[in-house]
Amino acid sequence: MRLHGRHGGVVRITGARASLAEDVRGRQRRYVISMGIRTLCVIATVMLWHVNMWLAWATLAGGLLLPYIAVVYANAGREQPQETPTTFIYQSGPPELEAGSRTLDGPGDLRE
């Protein structure tokens, strides 16, 4: 039985959400990455202040806006369950006659 997909990842066969611990770990990872980028922006601001003032202001703006964006992104909520195909196949029944379209008086007698 093969447990891995084409790219070596685990294949999910259900639409169930990831566990809460896995979800929190993913949020923490996104937040730490965002704060790392913010730190780089602040360091770049200090280094570029006397070299290129416009670029220094841009990195300063990034350093000021990233905490808000990181918090909103990290607290965005749990992932939505993936859509899985249904296992039921809905088929209509056999075709039916419309009401009052034809009547039968006896065997083999069809009157319109």
- Tell me the per-residue pLDDT of 55-112, one tens digit each, with 9 for 90 and over: 999 999 999 998 898 888 777 766 665 565 555 556 677 767 677 655 555 555 555 5
Which one-letter amino acid corresponds to residue 73?
A: Y
Taking the C-alpha atoms of residue 96 and residue 5, their distance in angstroms, rounded to an integer, is 46
What's the first-to-final CA gap in the chain, in angstroms? 62
The pLDDT score that the predictor gives to residue 1 is 46
Distances (CA, A) of 43 to 35, 37, 48, 80, 112: 12, 10, 9, 37, 90
- Residue tagged 């923490």 (tokens): 28
DSSP secondary-structure letter at 23? H
Q: Regarding predicted confidence, which is higher, 72 or 7?
A: 72
| Whether this model's pTM surpasses 0.85 | no
Instruction: Using alpha carbons, select from 40, 20, 38 the residue that is nearest to residue 30.
Output: 38
